[in-house]
Chain A
């Protein structure tokens, strides 16, 4: 059995064991006391605090707290476990008051963003690798500018050489904006090649108005367009691989604040824990 499969089996077993244990205890308690929600509530809050701690763990890598890989596995499965706790805590019902609705929505956003993040973290690196053209995220603007300058220089130079402005006009009309920034964000995310194919098709249409010299330049421009498209692909996927955390983490902190307020309100209106 391969390492990753073995690891997944171990964590899934732990999750199932924890779920069965909590559900059993809850079933026993629910019959005996009216305060079973306190058990699930505090357990849920405790797990959420530990899950939030993963972000802090990353900021202090010099402390010997173990490998981030193990903590992420814990984070994923403990995160899924909060789903079980949350359902038990709300007894499977949709909340009625606006405060609880906001709390539930915040929890939902954190959970969904986490699952989406996990999904893209596992799948998209393979897409980036398969497409090739690996480039560090912070170098993308520099490379993009280089490509734009090369394309611009080609389009301008051919005017004097071929005594025709066909390519320069096509550049101004169709390519200037393409090279100016990151384009076709959603198409890249969903692996749609239509925008690139359309642009290449326009080049093919243009070919009949070009002489031999211009055709060579057009071929070089198509190569640059493909390079730029690859760069946009890297940008779109790498940006999304980072962006989901900009939803997951701030909403987590909002959720924690809301949860603290929820605890205060619960204890305030129930005259304290008994």
Chain B
């Protein structure tokens, strides 16, 4: 019998270009402009030439007067180069949230809470006029060539806020794009002729790899603006003088591992069952010489140790955690009994790290640290694996919550959640009181499914976890999905959401749903082409209610809890309650 073979082309780097409308003429024009005209084309690889990067990883965008280019607090995956016209950076204290197309963070008053008894609509997903009303200072637009938010009264903003001008040739947004941190300032266009080149992070990464000038330029900005502030926040660097800190900054290396858009790949691999920790990129390996202290700046990394023929996950490290300090401090104090790395550090999804080399640590940093503040030295018993130190015990989260649960949380990337909905199935009577309470409190439609991944007696329900690394925020064209100012919860502003589904597609946990909304009389809202109006909906932790998340409050058996997965001690306490 003949077998039918499906032949497909091997996926290529630029199968999906940033902007299909980018023409050769546009590329030729860009190649003649600085900084591209000054780049050495020979340095670029044949597979990723500069012209290819500009054609496939960049797009030219034109902004109108007052249109917001980037918002403070947003997560963006691209950087911008001003081609013509001007843009203004709003300096601190920045614009109010309502002017950025975000929802005003406010809880309902007691009367409003009680009034829900008679004001809650009978039909699900009803939106009132007030909910869809945009702030007077802001206006959203959507269209085939993108969507955006406009500041309505630019002269007044320029009068009332301190701003700085950016002109042709200026770069911005590169640090947030590369280090996956939130944008630190809002930038908007001034005049109707502002033209920008937007370069997605993959293109920016290649430009940095092949062009030494741009690399040095961004390297300098990063060291000046970000590194000093970040290192000062870490206890062991606190006692350094300005001169010493400068020396550390000069020697510090930084790197980005994994994939910025890890959620798409993760979803695909998880579906195919091909995800495996052994395939994760290694940042530092057990048994290797400790060549530096690794400081995690953003994203997550898996801490594991050899166990049998595999690796056992001890913990996951997030932003602010360090790796390798104990080994380096030990070797500095006992050079004759030098030890290698005792664990392996692997990238989970995306990780941005800073590495302070061992030589700098030994010469500059460690001499300034008090003996009592240094991590304990390794005992012979510990190195022979016959005893477990208190430090290792503290680090070994698997010992507290159980190794299976630890692997489960890591494999499914639930460590990302700052408010993960966990259900103790040995106490849950499946009564669905939580689901009903959620629906009653949120437009008649529950914002989660009481269903999800299970490990032993613990279920992680399909609900927004209000991630520490919220990939859903990447790419929202209007900034409708954002972090609330009060509790840091991820919320959607219904007024500026244009229903594009980018957040829903980005979410690796499938916690965002698109719904057709209704008017107060129950009829579905439609646009002028009679197509239903769609909005993104998700759990907002009942941020406008007084009592907190209705799901948790309504569970009669204490089986449901919103947990911060980066506080495994609290999780362990809840498990063993």
Name A's B-contacting residues (CB within 8 A): 2-4, 58-69, 71-72, 121, 124-126, 128-129, 134, 136-137, 238, 241-242
Contacts and interface: CB of A to CB of B under 8 A. Distances in A.
B373 interface: no
Given A2-B576, A63-B114, A68 B430 contact: no
18 contacts: A4-B577, A58-B436, A61-B436, A61-B550, A61-B554, A62-B113, A62-B550, A63-B117, A64-B545, A65-B547, A72-B557, A125-B425, A125-B427, A125-B429, A129-B426, A137-B432, A241-B431, A242-B431
Contacts of A126: 426
Contacts of A136: 430, 449-451
B426 A241 contact: no
B556 A68 contact: yes
B46 to A, nearest CB: 52
A245 to B, nearest CB: 8
Interface of B: 110, 113-114, 116-117, 425-433, 436-437, 440-441, 449-451, 454, 456-457, 459, 542, 545-547, 550, 552-559, 576-577
Contact of B554 (A4, A68, A125, A134): A68
B570 to A, nearest CB: 13
A67 B427 CA distance: 16
A134 B556 contact: no
B546 A64 contact: yes
A61 B557 contact: no
Given A58-B436, A61-B440, A129-B426, 17 more contacts: A58-B433, A62-B441, A62-B547, A63-B113, A64-B545, A65-B547, A66-B547, A68-B555, A68-B556, A69-B556, A72-B557, A124-B429, A125-B425, A125-B428, A125-B430, A129-B457, A136-B450
B430 A129 contact: no
Given A125-B429, A134-B454, A61 B556 contact: no
Given A62-B545, A134-B425, A71 B114 contact: no
A4 B573 CA distance: 12
A166 B457 CA distance: 42
Contacts of B431: 241-242
A61 B550 CA distance: 6
Given A3-B577, A61-B550, A63-B113, A137 B556 contact: no
Nearest to B428: A125
B546 A238 contact: no
A65 B459 CA distance: 27
Q: Which of B425, B554, B556 has the most CB of A within 10 A?
A: B556
A129 B577 contact: no
Contact of A68 (B433, B545, B546): B433
Given A2-B576, A68-B433, A134-B425, A121 B554 contact: no
B557 A69 contact: yes
Contact of B553 (A61, A121, A137): A61
Contacts of A124: 429
A137 B451 CA distance: 11
A71 B341 CA distance: 52
A63 B120 CA distance: 13
A137 B554 CA distance: 19
A64 B555 contact: no
B425 A68 contact: no
A63 B440 CA distance: 11
Nearest to A134: B454
A135 to B, nearest CB: 8
Nearest to B108: A62
Contacts of A60: 117, 440
Nearest to B550: A61
A71 B116 CA distance: 22
A124 B559 CA distance: 14
A186 B469 CA distance: 48
Contacts of B542: 62
Contacts of B546: 64
A58 B429 contact: no
A51 B557 CA distance: 17
A211 to B, nearest CB: 22
Contacts of B550: 61-62
A126 B457 CA distance: 8
A65 B545 CA distance: 12
B428 A62 contact: no
A161 to B, nearest CB: 15
A59 B440 contact: yes
B558 A69 contact: yes
A134 B440 CA distance: 25
A61 B425 contact: no
B431 to A, nearest CB: 7
B547 A64 contact: yes
A69 B431 CA distance: 13
A72 B117 CA distance: 22
Contacts of A65: 547
Contacts of A238: 430
A140 to B, nearest CB: 11
Contacts of A71: 556
Contacts of A2: 576-577
Contacts of A4: 577
A71 B433 CA distance: 14
Task: List 6 tightest A-B contacts by C-beta distance, closest first.
Answer: A61-B437, A3-B577, A64-B547, A72-B556, A129-B425, A69-B558
A214 B433 CA distance: 47
Contacts of B559: 125
A91 to B, nearest CB: 34
A128 B454 CA distance: 13
Nearest to B576: A2
A142 to B, nearest CB: 13
A227 to B, nearest CB: 16
A96 B222 CA distance: 89
Contacts of A241: 429-431
B430 A128 contact: yes
A65 B117 CA distance: 14
B435 to A, nearest CB: 9
Contacts of A121: 429, 557
Nearest to A139: B451
Contacts of A3: 577
Contact of A137 (B426, B430, B557, B558): B430
B571 to A, nearest CB: 14
A61 B441 contact: yes
Contacts of B554: 58, 61, 68
A138 to B, nearest CB: 9
Nearest to B549: A61
A272 to B, nearest CB: 36
Q: Which of B110, B457, B550, B553 has the most CB of A within 10 A?
A: B553
Contacts of A128: 425, 430
A253 B547 CA distance: 29
